[in-house]
Amino acid sequence: MENVAKPWPALWSLVIGFFMILIDTTIVSVANPRIMEGLNTDINAVIWVTSAYLLAYAVPLLITGRLGDRFGPKNLYLSGLVVFTLASLWCGLSGDIGMLIAARAVQGIGAAMMTPQTMAVITRIFPPDRRGAAMGLWGATAGMAILIGPILGGVLVDGLGWAWIFFVNVPIGVVAFILVTRLVPKLSTHNHKFDVLGVVLSAVGMFLLVFGIQEGQSFRWGTVTGPVTVWGLIITGIVVLAAFVVWQWLLERRGGEPLLPLGLFKDRNFSLGNTTIMAVGFTITAFPLPTIFYYQVVRGLTPTQSALLMIPMAVISGALAPFVGKLIDRVNPRWFAAFGLVCLAGALFWTSALLTPDTPIWMFLLPSALQGVANGFIWGPVSNATTRNLPPRQAGAGSGVFNTTRQIGAVLGSAAIAALIQARLAAELPAAPAGAPASEAGLTGQLPEYLHAGFSTAMGQSVLLPAFAILLGTAVALFFGKPKAVQGWGAPAKDAADTEARTDTRAAAANQG
């Protein structure tokens, strides 16, 4: 741990940029119908606007955590902030869907440079017995951003047009740059080697897997081109990712520095926490898409009106997260996390049951409120339990792994929900009067009434996917163990810092040997 006189101003300045990049994981969902209309594209292409961002965000996270250790988290954060802000301007100026997808990919790279640095700074400037409150703020920021994204998006789309969901990042990025430059200290750096082969294998594997899942329905799960099939892409992606894990294991056995330090997973809570946050990332990204399409296409709500249904979620989550953050230093976070995850699953099953053509709109405020309770109990406890025992020299790598698994879950959630929505629309909607498949038309305006029942059923069925995913996350979270006392659970900060230093010394000696 490093001695920083004023850690809270430093953290608050980082939180502004972190809030901005997380908003961009969900802000597009409410604008999808308008983007489809404005750029004359289809549902699968517009979901790539989100998937490209998430994929470019997820793949580099492992190496950007290491780059933060090597060149300093402040320097890498500021570099990523510049990339993200300029890419946001490019997104807003895009004139076709291909340009927008490309700009979103660059935006994702900037976000990947920034994200691991926030958790690394928390781990390095706060003593272990005070990290709970800091992680509570981090968790509140993550939860609030993901919830506020659709609300802010709705207001901007209705008031100024869809491009402004990206333009708004420019002034925020400038303010964040100034604050971080002034308030975040320069922390000591650690030399690292960089695993180029690991980067290539992880990037190729993730792209093949996500492309196969998301585009599967477009190609009817058959041939993509020549001998290449959808299932061939998916299987190849899985094989390449397996090869990546094997390479990481071999590199670690040979005394090298793997991109994915598998030794971190020897800690039980770190392994369980990464699995849980992957399920959370999957769910939080997937569930807004079918509900937003239902609100706007079946019920005829404007983007602002549909986003306002999420206000109870945002308000309750923001109120609860700081309160929970103060408690997780004294209570095993397993119980907070499990309670929140169960609430989230219940809210999604409830929402699925309400997705019918004639459900009173006000009733959707009830599961929205339950989702707010859920988010208040999820983010801080899961992140704190996962990273609590990381020694300082592994702060960047550990936070990189944690954020990578969350983003991998988000990427898979985006791809899977896109495929499921298309499949359920094809199954539930009859042919349009002119003979065209109804599932391929009408998504940029309110549907004719005879299609309302089928479309609502398809969206309700789609929401069940993230609901079951978060149930799996709940089962995993129940096995969280009580965090180790030597890392500050009941131990003074000085003792915990000394323990970390001894752990770091032993690790360095082992590497030299």
Give 337-377 pLDDT, tens digit per residue: 889 999 999 999 999 999 999 999 999 999 999 998 998 88
- pLDDT score recorded for residue 132: 66
Is the pTM for the entire model greater than 0.75?
Answer: no
Which of 93, 142, 88, 140 is closest to 110 using CA atoms?
88
Q: Give 20's contacts (C-beta < 8 A, 6+ positions apart).
A: 84, 145, 169, 172, 173, 176
**Residue 212 near residue 251 (C-beta atoms within 8 A):** no
Q: What is the pLDDT of residues 425-472, one digit of tens each?
A: 888 876 544 444 444 444 555 577 888 888 899 999 999 999 999 999
Counting as low any pLDDT under 50, the low residues of the chain are 432-442, 486-513
- pLDDT score recorded for residue 24: 78
Q: Which amino acid is at 422?
A: Q
Tell the residue number behind the tokens 């988290």, with chain if given.
Answer: 73
- pLDDT score recorded for residue 507: 36
Phi, psi of 405 (to 5 degrees): -65, -35
- Cα gap 309→296, rounded to integer Å: 12
Tell the residue number behind the tokens 């329905």, with chain if given.
Answer: 217
Which of 287, 312, 307, 311 is closest to 295 using CA atoms?
307
- pLDDT score recorded for residue 489: 34
Helices (H) and strands (E) in the chain, counts: 20, 2
- Cα gap 220→460, rounded to integer Å: 22
